[in-house]
């Protein structure tokens, strides 16, 4: 059988090697009997007298699932005396006759019966009987063909025409036929060669098929039920889960001039968005410098710009410091000489410690019920919401792959692709939940990969696999919305609400601080600018924070050595630090 390039590639991806072989048989006689009802449905029996010239397991009989561009239904398929398997594809139903454990050779007769329902045709002024009684798919010689067609009521036999030959042939010299009442019988007068068929055409008056009804593509009813209705249901259920289990309480910012409850800058990063990124961890270096644990020295280039920094150990963290602080501090200087380390020493080495820090700072919250920021009972609802999004995309891919042979491998491929898509959607949903705050650029990567995979599969599904564009978009939108609800499923604890209110108030102060208030705070605490700076870095407001102190006589910090400008400016200082941390 012919295989499309796309089919072959997909089979290779699934690890299946298709067997390609020429037909090793001829058909001595091909007899077709058709009995029609007023509903334009036919009870068909095909008797094939085969002559195999080599051992074969059997044959495949493909029957088209369309008639003049309209869908047909095929049912009640039976094969007399032989094992058979029926596989409904997008364009054909394939009847596989034979057994993998048994070979046939020589003379064999197959008898196939089925019901072929056409339903209403798309012709406004007439009905018709127009069928390839012998199809064009046979890659072998049919020595003789005969047919008997019984129609339900009278017709104009002068309009009957029977032709044979390749696709598009109008030659009626190779067929002989006769009419007896409502029965048409005929046979070929010459053999049919490879890919030649026999067509019987009979125009009929409009309304001849008086009981015919419109049909949907076979197998599409399941996809219709699990199509648009499914997409609406999964989104509504995901919304319900989020609304009842994962929706946060409304939080109001409180007036806050200092970090709440002695939290470190990295912990503030977790409170604000539920994640710890690299910048949260490296902000601890400025935090430790302000606490007197280390000093920072600058390295400058020929243009007197900071080209690197070196950290000098002054003291170990206090015994009551967090355990993760002690570990990260130790590993920081282990990357250098033990007492000194430069930013160049940290390149391609310290990232493992930073990654360890992102995990263990999160654990500092999650391992303690008293410190927990997020409720633990939202994992199940989040998983269910994500699973429903997966189901939405999985079903549209199953429908797209419906016409491709190899249901097992294609089902696995659909599941894998749907899971990959949901991962990308979850990354985007997480970024939206974090309001775009993601130092690793995961949100941008997620958006790009989501568009590439969704768009690529969409083009293949619509152009090659005949999926309706709007249906594909509906499935993709439903999957994304479910992923978004799953990502938003992070209900805070009462303690988390309280902390977030303080952090939001603190962030608002850093962003909108009035100069008079800053001067008052600065007078009572000359190191106030440096106390707040690492927190401003975590909150993405370090530049804004330093600009508030323009015109205020801020002295360089004692822990920062080698400042190279003629006059100390907080904005220049912040810019130098931000380049390195």
Residue 229 pLDDT > 90: no
Dihedral sign (CA 75, 76, 82, 83): positive
Tens digit of each residue's pLDDT (9 = 90 or more) over 135-156: 998 999 999 999 999 999 999 9
Calculate the alpha carbon distances from 325 to 278, 283, 531, 567, 573 in Å.
14, 12, 17, 34, 25
Task: Pick 32 or 470 by higher pLDDT.
Answer: 32
pLDDT-derived band of residue 565, with 50, 70 and 90 as boundaries? low
The stretch 307-322 carries a mean pLDDT of 90
Residue 2 pLDDT > 70: no
Residues 6+ apart with CB under 8 A from 345: 335, 336
Q: How many residues does the chain have?
A: 581
Do residues 128 and 85 lie in contact, with contact meaning Cβ atoms separated by under 8 Å? no
Task: Pick 111 or 73 by higher pLDDT.
Answer: 111
Do residues 280 and 361 lie in contact, with contact meaning Cβ atoms separated by under 8 Å? yes
Residue 164: is it exposed, middle or buried by C-beta count within 10 angstroms (0-12/13-18/19+)?
A: buried
How far is 453 from 444, CA to CA, in rounded Å? Answer: 14
Residue 481 pLDDT > 50: yes
How far is 214 from 67, CA to CA, in rounded Å? Answer: 12
> Model pTM?
0.55
Residue 414: is it exposed, middle or buried by C-beta count within 10 angstroms (0-12/13-18/19+)?
A: buried
Closest by CA to 40, choosing from 68, 10, 20, is 68
**H or E element that contains 62:** strand 58-64
* Other CB atoms within 10 A of residue 429 CB: 26
Letter string b/e over residues 61-97, b meaning 16 or more CB atoms within 10 A of that residue's CB: bbbebebeeebbbbeebebeebebeeeebbebbbbbb
Calculate the alpha carbon distances from 368 to 246, 249, 362, 365, 531 in Å.
20, 21, 11, 6, 27
pLDDT-derived band of residue 70, with 50, 70 and 90 as boundaries? confident
Residue 550 pLDDT > 90: no
Residue 577 pLDDT > 90: no
Tens digit of each residue's pLDDT (9 = 90 or more) over 318-372: 999 999 999 999 999 998 889 999 988 888 889 899 999 999 999 999 888 888 8
**H or E element that contains 307:** strand 306-313
Average pLDDT value over all residues in the chain: 85
The stretch 212-226 carries a mean pLDDT of 61
User: 246: which DSSP letter?
Assistant: I
Reduce the DSSP state of residue 501 to 3 states and report it.
helix
Tens digit of each residue's pLDDT (9 = 90 or more) over 89-139: 767 888 999 988 899 999 999 999 999 998 887 777 899 999 999 999 899
Dihedral sign (CA 279, 284, 287, 289): negative
Q: What is the largest CA-CA distance in the chain?
A: 114
> Which pLDDT value is given to residue 1?
38
> Which pLDDT value is given to residue 68?
72
User: 567: which DSSP letter?
Assistant: S
Output phi, psi for 384, to 5 deg.
-65, -40
Do residues 245 and 377 lie in contact, with contact meaning Cβ atoms separated by under 8 Å? yes
Residue 251: is it exposed, middle or buried by C-beta count within 10 angstroms (0-12/13-18/19+)?
A: middle
Do residues 207 and 39 lie in contact, with contact meaning Cβ atoms separated by under 8 Å? no
How far is 333 from 331, CA to CA, in rounded Å? Answer: 6
Q: Return the C-alpha torsion angle 548, 551, 556, 562, nearest 10.
A: 100
Do residues 67 and 118 lie in contact, with contact meaning Cβ atoms separated by under 8 Å? yes
The stretch 488-515 carries a mean pLDDT of 89
- Rg over CA atoms, the chain: 37
Tens digit of each residue's pLDDT (9 = 90 or more) over 6-57: 333 333 333 333 333 357 899 999 999 999 999 999 999 999 999 999 999 9
Q: Where are the beta strands (DSSP E) in 330-431?
A: 340-342
> Which pLDDT value is given to residue 435?
59
Tens digit of each residue's pLDDT (9 = 90 or more) over 157-208: 999 999 999 998 999 999 999 999 999 999 999 999 999 999 999 999 999 9
The stretch 381-409 carries a mean pLDDT of 81
Task: Pick 533 or 429 by higher pLDDT.
Answer: 533
């Amino acid at each position: 059988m012919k295989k499309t390039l796309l089919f072959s590639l997909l089979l290779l991806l699934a690890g299946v090697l298709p067997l390609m072989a020429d037909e090793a048989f001829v058909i001595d006689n091909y007899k077709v009997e058709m009995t029609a009802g007023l509903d334009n449905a036919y009870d068909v029996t095909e008797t094939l007298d085969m002559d195999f010239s080599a051992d074969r397991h059997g044959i495949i009989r493909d029957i088209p699932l369309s008639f003049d561009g309209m869908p047909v239904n095929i049912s009640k398929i039976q094969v007399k005396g032989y094992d058979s398997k029926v596989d409904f594809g997008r364009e054909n139903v394939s009847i596989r006759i034979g057994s993998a454990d048994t070979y046939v050779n020589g003379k064999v007769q197959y008898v196939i019966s089925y019901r072929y329902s056409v339903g209403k045709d798309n012709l406004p002024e007439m009905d018709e009987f127009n069928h390839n009684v012998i199809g064009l798919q046979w890659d072998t010689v049919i020595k003789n063909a005969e047919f008997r067609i019984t129609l339900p009521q009278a017709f104009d036999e002068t309009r009957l025409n029977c032709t044979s030959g390749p696709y598009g042939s109008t030659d009626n010299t190779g067929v002989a036929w006769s009419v007896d009442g409502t029965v048409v019988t005929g046979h070929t007068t010459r053999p049919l060669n490879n890919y030649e068929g026999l067509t019987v055409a009979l125009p009929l008056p409009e309304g001849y098929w008086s009981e015919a009804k419109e049909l949907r593509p076979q197998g599409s009813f399941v996809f219709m039920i699990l199509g648009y209705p499914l997409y609406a249901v999964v989104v509504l259920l995901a919304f319900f889960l989020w609304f009842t289990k994962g929706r946060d309480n409304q939080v109001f910012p409180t007036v806050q001039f200092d970090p709440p409850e002695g939290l470190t800058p990295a912990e503030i990063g977790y409170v604000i968005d539920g994640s710890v990124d690299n910048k949260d961890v490296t902000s601890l270096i400025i935090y430790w410098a302000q606490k007197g644990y280390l000093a920072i020295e600058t390295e400058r280039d020929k243009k007197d710009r900071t080209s690197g920094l070196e950290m000098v150990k002054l003291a170990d963290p206090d015994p009551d410091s967090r355990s993760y602080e002690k570990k990260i501090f130790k590993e920081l200087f282990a990357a250098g000489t033990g007492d000194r380390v430069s930013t160049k020493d940290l390149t391609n080495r310290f990232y493992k410690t930073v990654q360890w820090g992102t995990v263990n700072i999160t654990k500092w919250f999650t391992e303690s019920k008293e410190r927990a920021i997020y409720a633990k009972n939202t994992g199940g609802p989040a998983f269910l919401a994500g699973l429903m999004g997966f189901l939405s995309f999985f079903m549209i891919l199953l429908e797209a792959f419906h016409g491709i042979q190899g249901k097992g491998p294609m089902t696995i491929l659909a599941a894998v692709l749907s899971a990959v898509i949901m991962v990308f959607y979850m990354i985007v949903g997480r970024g939206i939940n974090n309001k775009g705050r993601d130092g690793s650029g995961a949100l941008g990567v997620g958006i790009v990969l989501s568009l590439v995979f969704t768009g690529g599969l969409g083009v293949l599904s619509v152009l090659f696999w005949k999926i309706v564009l709007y249906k594909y978009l509906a499935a993709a939108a439903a999957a994304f919305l479910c992923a978004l609800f799953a990502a938003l499923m992070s209900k805070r604890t009462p303690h988390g609400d309280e902390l977030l209110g303080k952090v939001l108030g603190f962030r608002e102060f850093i962003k909108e601080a009035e100069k008079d208030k800053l001067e008052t705070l600065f007078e009572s605490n000359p190191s106030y600018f440096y106390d707040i700076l690492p927190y401003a870095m975590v909150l993405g407001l370090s530049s804004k924070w330093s600009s508030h102190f323009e015109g205020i006589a801020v002295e360089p910090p004692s822990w920062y050595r080698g400042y190279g400008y003629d006059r100390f400016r907080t904005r220049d200082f912040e810019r130098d630090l931000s380049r390195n941390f």
